[in-house]
Amino acid sequence: MTALSTLTLSAAAEQIRTGQVSPVDLVRACLERIDRLESRLQAWVTLDRDGALAAARYHEAEIQRGVYRGPLHGIPLGLKDIFYTAGLKTTMGSPIYADFVPDYDATVVQFLKEAGAVILGKCQTTEFAALAPSPTRNPWNLEHTPGGSSSGSAAAVAASMCYGALGSQTYGSTIRPAAYCGCVGLKPTYGRVSTFGMFALAWSLDHVGIFARTVTDVAHLLQVLAGDDPRDPACVPLPVPDYVRGLDAAQPPRLGLVRKFFWEKADEETRKHTEAVAARLARAGARVEEVQLPASFAGVPEAHFAMLYAESAASHRELYAQHKARYSPQMQELVEKGLTVSGIDYVALRRHQQRFRHDLDALCRTVDALLTPATPAPAPRGFATTGDPTFNGPASFSGLPSLGLPSGLSADGLPLGIQLVSAAFAEERLLAVGKWCEAVLDFRQTPPLG
Protein backbone atom coordinates (compact mmCIF):
# COMPACT_ATOMS: atom_id res chain seq x y z
CA MET A 1 0.00 0.00 0.00
CA THR A 2 2.79 2.44 0.81
CA ALA A 3 3.88 2.70 -2.86
CA LEU A 4 0.49 4.25 -3.65
CA SER A 5 1.31 7.23 -1.45
CA THR A 6 4.25 8.17 -3.70
CA LEU A 7 1.98 8.82 -6.68
CA THR A 8 1.46 12.38 -7.74
CA LEU A 9 -1.97 13.83 -7.09
CA SER A 10 -2.70 13.75 -10.82
CA ALA A 11 -1.69 10.11 -11.16
CA ALA A 12 -3.71 9.12 -8.10
CA ALA A 13 -6.72 10.99 -9.48
CA GLU A 14 -6.46 9.14 -12.79
CA GLN A 15 -6.28 5.79 -11.03
CA ILE A 16 -9.41 6.67 -9.05
CA ARG A 17 -11.20 7.85 -12.19
CA THR A 18 -10.40 4.64 -14.05
CA GLY A 19 -11.22 2.38 -11.11
CA GLN A 20 -7.70 1.07 -10.54
CA VAL A 21 -7.71 2.19 -6.91
CA SER A 22 -10.31 3.49 -4.49
CA PRO A 23 -10.22 6.49 -2.14
CA VAL A 24 -10.00 4.00 0.73
CA ASP A 25 -6.86 2.49 -0.80
CA LEU A 26 -5.24 5.94 -0.98
CA VAL A 27 -6.15 6.93 2.58
CA ARG A 28 -4.82 3.66 3.94
CA ALA A 29 -1.59 4.08 1.97
CA CYS A 30 -1.10 7.59 3.34
CA LEU A 31 -1.85 6.51 6.91
CA GLU A 32 0.61 3.65 6.60
CA ARG A 33 3.27 6.08 5.34
CA ILE A 34 2.52 8.46 8.21
CA ASP A 35 2.78 5.64 10.73
CA ARG A 36 6.24 4.78 9.38
CA LEU A 37 7.64 8.31 9.32
CA GLU A 38 5.76 10.57 11.70
CA SER A 39 7.83 9.78 14.78
CA ARG A 40 10.85 11.20 12.91
CA LEU A 41 9.25 14.05 10.95
CA GLN A 42 6.52 15.33 13.29
CA ALA A 43 4.58 16.84 10.42
CA TRP A 44 1.08 16.44 11.90
CA VAL A 45 -0.73 17.98 14.85
CA THR A 46 -3.98 16.04 14.45
CA LEU A 47 -4.71 12.97 12.33
CA ASP A 48 -8.38 12.30 11.67
CA ARG A 49 -8.03 8.60 10.90
CA ASP A 50 -11.65 7.63 11.45
CA GLY A 51 -13.00 10.72 9.73
CA ALA A 52 -10.71 10.30 6.72
CA LEU A 53 -11.61 6.63 6.28
CA ALA A 54 -15.31 7.40 6.65
CA ALA A 55 -15.04 10.16 4.02
CA ALA A 56 -13.10 7.83 1.73
CA ARG A 57 -15.77 5.15 2.00
CA TYR A 58 -18.47 7.73 1.25
CA HIS A 59 -16.62 8.96 -1.83
CA GLU A 60 -15.91 5.39 -2.94
CA ALA A 61 -19.63 4.66 -2.79
CA GLU A 62 -20.33 7.80 -4.82
CA ILE A 63 -17.96 6.67 -7.55
CA GLN A 64 -19.53 3.22 -7.58
CA ARG A 65 -22.88 4.94 -8.20
CA GLY A 66 -21.39 6.78 -11.16
CA VAL A 67 -20.91 10.10 -9.36
CA TYR A 68 -17.46 11.55 -10.03
CA ARG A 69 -16.78 15.07 -8.76
CA GLY A 70 -13.48 15.64 -10.53
CA PRO A 71 -9.72 15.22 -10.02
CA LEU A 72 -9.82 15.82 -6.25
CA HIS A 73 -12.51 13.20 -5.67
CA GLY A 74 -11.16 10.84 -3.02
CA ILE A 75 -7.72 12.47 -2.82
CA PRO A 76 -6.20 12.64 0.72
CA LEU A 77 -4.88 16.12 1.62
CA GLY A 78 -3.38 17.90 4.60
CA LEU A 79 -4.23 21.32 6.03
CA LYS A 80 -1.99 23.74 7.86
CA ASP A 81 -3.38 24.00 11.37
CA ILE A 82 -4.60 27.57 10.96
CA PHE A 83 -7.58 26.66 8.75
CA TYR A 84 -10.84 26.24 10.64
CA THR A 85 -12.26 22.73 10.31
CA ALA A 86 -15.71 21.97 11.69
CA GLY A 87 -15.48 19.30 14.37
CA LEU A 88 -11.69 18.98 14.09
CA LYS A 89 -9.15 20.70 16.34
CA THR A 90 -7.49 23.84 15.00
CA THR A 91 -4.64 24.84 17.31
CA MET A 92 -2.79 27.61 15.41
CA GLY A 93 0.38 26.15 16.91
CA SER A 94 -0.47 27.82 20.21
CA PRO A 95 -1.25 26.39 23.65
CA ILE A 96 -4.06 28.94 23.85
CA TYR A 97 -5.96 26.97 21.19
CA ALA A 98 -4.77 23.48 22.14
CA ASP A 99 -8.33 22.22 22.49
CA PHE A 100 -10.17 24.60 20.14
CA VAL A 101 -12.69 22.91 17.83
CA PRO A 102 -14.38 25.24 15.30
CA ASP A 103 -18.01 24.81 14.33
CA TYR A 104 -17.49 25.77 10.67
CA ASP A 105 -15.05 25.19 7.83
CA ALA A 106 -12.78 27.78 6.25
CA THR A 107 -13.91 28.58 2.72
CA VAL A 108 -10.99 26.69 1.19
CA VAL A 109 -11.79 23.64 3.31
CA GLN A 110 -15.41 23.85 2.22
CA PHE A 111 -14.34 24.03 -1.43
CA LEU A 112 -12.04 21.02 -1.06
CA LYS A 113 -14.74 18.94 0.57
CA GLU A 114 -17.25 19.90 -2.12
CA ALA A 115 -14.72 18.69 -4.69
CA GLY A 116 -14.57 15.33 -2.93
CA ALA A 117 -11.17 15.71 -1.26
CA VAL A 118 -10.48 13.73 1.91
CA ILE A 119 -8.98 15.69 4.80
CA LEU A 120 -6.39 13.50 6.54
CA GLY A 121 -5.73 15.99 9.32
CA LYS A 122 -3.94 19.14 10.37
CA CYS A 123 -0.26 19.82 9.67
CA GLN A 124 2.16 21.53 12.03
CA THR A 125 2.54 25.30 11.88
CA THR A 126 4.77 27.75 13.66
CA GLU A 127 2.92 29.59 16.43
CA PHE A 128 0.18 31.67 14.77
CA ALA A 129 2.00 31.16 11.43
CA ALA A 130 4.72 33.52 12.63
CA LEU A 131 8.27 33.09 13.94
CA ALA A 132 8.46 30.44 16.69
CA PRO A 133 9.50 27.16 14.96
CA SER A 134 7.32 24.06 14.98
CA PRO A 135 8.71 20.60 15.89
CA THR A 136 8.69 19.43 12.25
CA ARG A 137 11.91 18.12 10.71
CA ASN A 138 13.18 18.32 7.14
CA PRO A 139 12.57 15.00 5.33
CA TRP A 140 15.88 15.34 3.45
CA ASN A 141 17.92 15.70 6.62
CA LEU A 142 16.35 15.52 10.06
CA GLU A 143 18.94 17.90 11.48
CA HIS A 144 17.72 20.76 9.26
CA THR A 145 14.63 22.96 9.37
CA PRO A 146 11.83 22.30 6.87
CA GLY A 147 11.16 26.04 6.79
CA GLY A 148 8.10 27.82 8.03
CA SER A 149 5.58 28.76 8.84
CA SER A 150 3.91 25.99 6.80
CA SER A 151 6.41 23.46 8.13
CA GLY A 152 4.22 20.39 8.39
CA SER A 153 2.44 20.94 5.08
CA ALA A 154 5.68 21.05 3.08
CA ALA A 155 7.26 18.12 4.93
CA ALA A 156 4.13 15.96 4.62
CA VAL A 157 3.90 16.48 0.86
CA ALA A 158 7.63 15.97 0.29
CA ALA A 159 7.57 12.78 2.38
CA SER A 160 4.57 11.34 0.46
CA MET A 161 2.30 11.41 3.49
CA CYS A 162 -0.42 13.13 1.44
CA TYR A 163 -0.89 14.19 -2.18
CA GLY A 164 -1.13 17.89 -1.49
CA ALA A 165 -1.56 20.31 1.37
CA LEU A 166 -2.60 23.85 2.12
CA GLY A 167 -0.36 26.35 3.85
CA SER A 168 -0.18 30.11 3.98
CA GLN A 169 2.26 32.88 3.14
CA THR A 170 2.55 36.28 4.77
CA TYR A 171 6.25 36.70 4.01
CA GLY A 172 7.84 33.44 2.88
CA SER A 173 5.81 30.67 4.46
CA THR A 174 4.99 28.68 1.31
CA ILE A 175 7.76 29.19 -1.23
CA ARG A 176 10.54 28.85 1.37
CA PRO A 177 9.45 25.51 2.92
CA ALA A 178 8.62 24.18 -0.55
CA ALA A 179 12.20 24.96 -1.59
CA TYR A 180 13.71 23.49 1.57
CA CYS A 181 11.66 20.29 1.25
CA GLY A 182 11.92 19.82 -2.51
CA CYS A 183 8.28 20.17 -3.54
CA VAL A 184 6.24 22.64 -5.61
CA GLY A 185 4.68 25.63 -3.86
CA LEU A 186 2.25 28.26 -5.14
CA LYS A 187 1.29 31.57 -3.58
CA PRO A 188 -1.59 32.92 -5.68
CA THR A 189 -2.36 36.60 -6.22
CA TYR A 190 -3.70 38.40 -3.14
CA GLY A 191 -7.49 38.19 -3.49
CA ARG A 192 -7.51 35.15 -5.79
CA VAL A 193 -8.22 32.63 -2.99
CA SER A 194 -10.38 33.32 0.05
CA THR A 195 -8.74 33.53 3.46
CA PHE A 196 -12.06 33.38 5.33
CA GLY A 197 -11.66 30.93 8.19
CA MET A 198 -7.85 31.14 8.09
CA PHE A 199 -6.52 32.57 11.34
CA ALA A 200 -5.15 36.00 10.47
CA LEU A 201 -1.57 37.06 11.01
CA ALA A 202 -1.64 40.22 8.85
CA TRP A 203 -4.77 40.82 6.78
CA SER A 204 -3.11 42.81 3.99
CA LEU A 205 -0.34 40.26 3.51
CA ASP A 206 -1.90 36.85 4.25
CA HIS A 207 -2.26 34.45 1.32
CA VAL A 208 -3.38 30.84 1.12
CA GLY A 209 -0.51 28.64 -0.09
CA ILE A 210 -0.59 25.36 -2.02
CA PHE A 211 1.89 22.46 -1.81
CA ALA A 212 2.08 19.47 -4.15
CA ARG A 213 4.67 17.39 -5.97
CA THR A 214 4.10 18.73 -9.51
CA VAL A 215 2.85 21.88 -11.21
CA THR A 216 -0.09 19.94 -12.64
CA ASP A 217 -1.08 18.89 -9.13
CA VAL A 218 -0.96 22.51 -7.98
CA ALA A 219 -3.13 23.54 -10.93
CA HIS A 220 -5.78 20.99 -9.95
CA LEU A 221 -5.84 22.37 -6.41
CA LEU A 222 -5.97 26.00 -7.48
CA GLN A 223 -8.83 25.18 -9.85
CA VAL A 224 -10.96 24.25 -6.86
CA LEU A 225 -9.73 26.93 -4.46
CA ALA A 226 -9.82 30.05 -6.68
CA GLY A 227 -12.84 32.31 -6.85
CA ASP A 228 -14.76 35.04 -5.13
CA ASP A 229 -16.05 34.72 -1.59
CA PRO A 230 -18.40 37.36 -0.16
CA ARG A 231 -17.15 36.48 3.32
CA ASP A 232 -13.63 37.68 2.44
CA PRO A 233 -13.64 41.39 1.53
CA ALA A 234 -10.17 41.05 -0.04
CA CYS A 235 -11.40 38.57 -2.65
CA VAL A 236 -11.56 39.93 -6.19
CA PRO A 237 -14.61 38.80 -8.24
CA LEU A 238 -12.75 37.85 -11.41
CA PRO A 239 -13.53 34.82 -13.61
CA VAL A 240 -11.51 31.72 -12.83
CA PRO A 241 -9.58 30.40 -15.85
CA ASP A 242 -9.15 26.72 -16.63
CA TYR A 243 -5.73 26.38 -15.02
CA VAL A 244 -5.28 22.72 -15.93
CA ARG A 245 -6.13 23.20 -19.58
CA GLY A 246 -3.88 26.25 -19.61
CA LEU A 247 -0.92 23.96 -18.96
CA ASP A 248 -1.28 22.74 -22.55
CA ALA A 249 -0.02 26.16 -23.61
CA ALA A 250 3.37 25.50 -22.00
CA GLN A 251 6.10 26.69 -24.35
CA PRO A 252 9.54 28.31 -24.08
CA PRO A 253 8.93 31.46 -22.01
CA ARG A 254 10.51 34.86 -21.79
CA LEU A 255 12.09 35.04 -18.33
CA GLY A 256 13.40 38.08 -16.48
CA LEU A 257 16.38 36.99 -14.39
CA VAL A 258 16.73 39.24 -11.34
CA ARG A 259 20.29 39.27 -10.06
CA LYS A 260 20.49 42.55 -8.15
CA PHE A 261 19.47 42.17 -4.49
CA PHE A 262 19.21 38.38 -4.82
CA TRP A 263 22.86 37.83 -5.77
CA GLU A 264 23.97 40.06 -2.92
CA LYS A 265 22.20 37.91 -0.34
CA ALA A 266 22.48 34.41 -1.82
CA ASP A 267 25.35 32.13 -0.89
CA GLU A 268 27.82 31.15 -3.60
CA GLU A 269 26.29 27.72 -4.21
CA THR A 270 22.83 29.21 -4.70
CA ARG A 271 24.12 31.89 -7.08
CA LYS A 272 25.98 29.34 -9.20
CA HIS A 273 23.02 26.99 -9.18
CA THR A 274 20.57 29.67 -10.29
CA GLU A 275 22.92 30.79 -13.07
CA ALA A 276 23.18 27.16 -14.19
CA VAL A 277 19.38 26.81 -14.13
CA ALA A 278 18.97 29.98 -16.21
CA ALA A 279 21.52 28.70 -18.72
CA ARG A 280 19.80 25.34 -18.91
CA LEU A 281 16.42 26.94 -19.52
CA ALA A 282 17.95 29.17 -22.20
CA ARG A 283 19.48 26.16 -23.98
CA ALA A 284 16.04 24.56 -23.99
CA GLY A 285 14.59 27.59 -25.77
CA ALA A 286 13.66 30.11 -23.09
CA ARG A 287 14.55 33.73 -23.70
CA VAL A 288 16.37 34.79 -20.53
CA GLU A 289 17.28 38.43 -19.98
CA GLU A 290 18.38 40.29 -16.89
CA VAL A 291 15.89 42.76 -15.43
CA GLN A 292 15.99 45.10 -12.43
CA LEU A 293 13.45 45.41 -9.67
CA PRO A 294 11.72 48.82 -9.78
CA ALA A 295 13.07 51.76 -7.81
CA SER A 296 10.13 51.47 -5.42
CA PHE A 297 11.66 48.23 -4.12
CA ALA A 298 13.99 50.39 -2.00
CA GLY A 299 12.97 49.87 1.61
CA VAL A 300 10.45 47.12 0.83
CA PRO A 301 11.94 44.47 3.16
CA GLU A 302 11.80 46.91 6.08
CA ALA A 303 8.32 48.12 5.14
CA HIS A 304 7.11 44.54 4.83
CA PHE A 305 8.19 43.65 8.34
CA ALA A 306 6.81 46.89 9.78
CA MET A 307 3.41 46.25 8.19
CA LEU A 308 3.46 42.65 9.40
CA TYR A 309 4.23 43.83 12.94
CA ALA A 310 1.46 46.44 12.90
CA GLU A 311 -1.23 44.18 11.49
CA SER A 312 -0.24 41.30 13.77
CA ALA A 313 -0.61 43.60 16.77
CA ALA A 314 -4.06 44.60 15.50
CA SER A 315 -5.25 41.05 14.85
CA HIS A 316 -3.91 39.78 18.21
CA ARG A 317 -4.82 42.81 20.32
CA GLU A 318 -7.60 41.28 22.38
CA LEU A 319 -6.14 37.79 22.62
CA TYR A 320 -2.71 39.16 23.56
CA ALA A 321 -4.19 41.31 26.30
CA GLN A 322 -5.80 38.23 27.86
CA HIS A 323 -3.07 35.63 27.30
CA LYS A 324 0.26 37.45 26.95
CA ALA A 325 2.08 34.98 29.22
CA ARG A 326 1.08 32.09 26.95
CA TYR A 327 2.67 33.70 23.87
CA SER A 328 6.22 32.66 22.97
CA PRO A 329 8.99 35.26 23.37
CA GLN A 330 9.19 35.54 19.56
CA MET A 331 5.48 36.23 19.26
CA GLN A 332 5.51 38.68 22.15
CA GLU A 333 8.29 40.62 20.48
CA LEU A 334 6.40 40.69 17.18
CA VAL A 335 3.22 42.07 18.79
CA GLU A 336 5.09 44.56 20.93
CA LYS A 337 6.91 45.93 17.89
CA GLY A 338 3.60 46.30 16.11
CA LEU A 339 2.14 48.31 18.96
CA THR A 340 4.80 50.97 18.37
CA VAL A 341 3.83 51.59 14.71
CA SER A 342 1.83 54.81 14.49
CA GLY A 343 -1.23 55.29 12.32
CA ILE A 344 0.64 57.85 10.20
CA ASP A 345 3.51 55.42 9.66
CA TYR A 346 1.10 52.62 8.78
CA VAL A 347 -0.57 54.76 6.11
CA ALA A 348 2.86 55.40 4.60
CA LEU A 349 3.56 51.68 4.58
CA ARG A 350 0.32 50.96 2.77
CA ARG A 351 1.11 53.63 0.21
CA HIS A 352 4.54 52.09 -0.34
CA GLN A 353 2.88 48.72 -0.84
CA GLN A 354 0.52 50.13 -3.47
CA ARG A 355 3.34 51.84 -5.34
CA PHE A 356 5.49 48.72 -5.37
CA ARG A 357 2.60 46.48 -6.44
CA HIS A 358 1.92 48.79 -9.38
CA ASP A 359 5.56 48.93 -10.42
CA LEU A 360 6.36 45.25 -9.98
CA ASP A 361 3.21 44.28 -11.86
CA ALA A 362 4.29 46.52 -14.74
CA LEU A 363 7.72 44.82 -14.80
CA CYS A 364 6.13 41.36 -14.76
CA ARG A 365 4.03 42.26 -17.80
CA THR A 366 7.20 42.78 -19.87
CA VAL A 367 8.08 39.06 -19.46
CA ASP A 368 6.26 35.80 -18.83
CA ALA A 369 7.78 35.50 -15.38
CA LEU A 370 10.59 36.80 -13.22
CA LEU A 371 13.21 34.22 -12.24
CA THR A 372 15.04 34.30 -8.89
CA PRO A 373 16.41 31.82 -6.37
CA ALA A 374 13.67 30.66 -4.02
CA THR A 375 15.88 31.08 -0.94
CA PRO A 376 19.33 32.57 -0.19
CA ALA A 377 20.70 29.12 0.74
CA PRO A 378 19.56 25.56 1.38
CA ALA A 379 17.72 24.76 4.61
CA PRO A 380 19.88 25.72 7.58
CA ARG A 381 20.88 23.20 10.21
CA GLY A 382 19.15 23.42 13.58
CA PHE A 383 15.73 24.52 14.73
CA ALA A 384 16.17 27.96 16.24
CA THR A 385 15.03 29.47 12.94
CA THR A 386 12.85 28.50 9.99
CA GLY A 387 15.25 30.17 7.55
CA ASP A 388 15.49 33.45 5.68
CA PRO A 389 12.25 34.53 3.89
CA THR A 390 13.78 37.61 2.23
CA PHE A 391 13.59 36.34 -1.35
CA ASN A 392 9.85 35.69 -1.06
CA GLY A 393 9.11 39.19 0.22
CA PRO A 394 8.62 41.04 -3.09
CA ALA A 395 5.80 38.75 -4.20
CA SER A 396 4.16 38.71 -0.77
CA PHE A 397 4.37 42.46 -0.17
CA SER A 398 3.07 43.24 -3.67
CA GLY A 399 0.51 40.44 -3.64
CA LEU A 400 1.68 39.11 -7.02
CA PRO A 401 1.63 35.34 -7.62
CA SER A 402 4.77 33.27 -7.12
CA LEU A 403 5.62 29.66 -7.87
CA GLY A 404 8.45 27.67 -6.31
CA LEU A 405 10.01 24.73 -8.17
CA PRO A 406 12.65 22.26 -6.97
CA SER A 407 15.63 22.55 -9.28
CA GLY A 408 18.45 20.43 -7.84
CA LEU A 409 20.37 19.36 -4.77
CA SER A 410 23.15 21.11 -2.88
CA ALA A 411 26.53 19.52 -2.27
CA ASP A 412 25.12 18.37 1.08
CA GLY A 413 22.13 16.69 -0.56
CA LEU A 414 19.57 19.36 0.39
CA PRO A 415 17.02 20.70 -2.13
CA LEU A 416 17.60 23.92 -4.04
CA GLY A 417 14.76 25.80 -5.71
CA ILE A 418 13.86 28.60 -8.06
CA GLN A 419 11.06 31.14 -7.75
CA LEU A 420 8.92 32.43 -10.61
CA VAL A 421 6.87 35.61 -10.15
CA SER A 422 4.18 36.80 -12.54
CA ALA A 423 1.71 39.64 -13.00
CA ALA A 424 -1.41 39.96 -10.86
CA PHE A 425 -4.01 37.26 -11.56
CA ALA A 426 -1.77 35.72 -14.23
CA GLU A 427 -1.65 32.30 -12.54
CA GLU A 428 -2.71 30.60 -15.75
CA ARG A 429 0.43 31.84 -17.52
CA LEU A 430 2.61 31.37 -14.43
CA LEU A 431 1.62 27.72 -14.12
CA ALA A 432 2.23 27.13 -17.83
CA VAL A 433 5.71 28.66 -17.48
CA GLY A 434 6.27 26.52 -14.40
CA LYS A 435 5.16 23.39 -16.24
CA TRP A 436 7.65 24.09 -19.04
CA CYS A 437 10.50 24.79 -16.60
CA GLU A 438 9.61 21.70 -14.58
CA ALA A 439 9.93 19.51 -17.67
CA VAL A 440 13.33 20.99 -18.54
CA LEU A 441 14.70 20.73 -14.99
CA ASP A 442 13.29 17.22 -14.55
CA PHE A 443 13.82 17.09 -10.78
CA ARG A 444 12.91 13.56 -9.68
CA GLN A 445 14.87 13.02 -6.48
CA THR A 446 12.98 12.08 -3.34
CA PRO A 447 13.93 12.36 0.34
CA PRO A 448 16.13 9.49 1.60
CA LEU A 449 13.59 8.27 4.13
CA GLY A 450 13.11 4.70 2.97
Measure the CA–CA gap between 406 and 185, rounded to whole angstroms: 9
> DSSP of 251-300, one letter per residue?
-PPEEEEE-TTHHHHS-HHHHHHHHHHHHHHHHTT-EEEEE---GGGTTH
Closest by CA position to 397, among listed 332, 320, 306, 313: 306
Alpha-carbon distances of 327 from 14, 123, 311, 312, rounded to whole Å: 45, 20, 17, 13
Q: Which residues are catalytic?
A: 80, 149, 173
Which run of H or of E encompasses 364?
helix 343-364
Under a CB-based contact definition with an 8 Å cutoff, are residues 79 and 193 in contact? no
**For residue 149, cis peptide bond before it (omega within 30 degrees of 0):** yes
Closest by CA position to 84, among listed 100, 106, 101: 106
Under a CB-based contact definition with an 8 Å cutoff, are residues 247 and 432 in contact? yes
Q: Report, in angstroms and rounded to the nearest whole number, the Rg of the chain calculated over CA atoms.
A: 20
Measure the CA–CA gap between 327 and 200, rounded to whole angstroms: 16
User: 123: helix, coil or strand?
Assistant: strand
Closest by CA position to 25, among listed 54, 4, 8, 49: 4
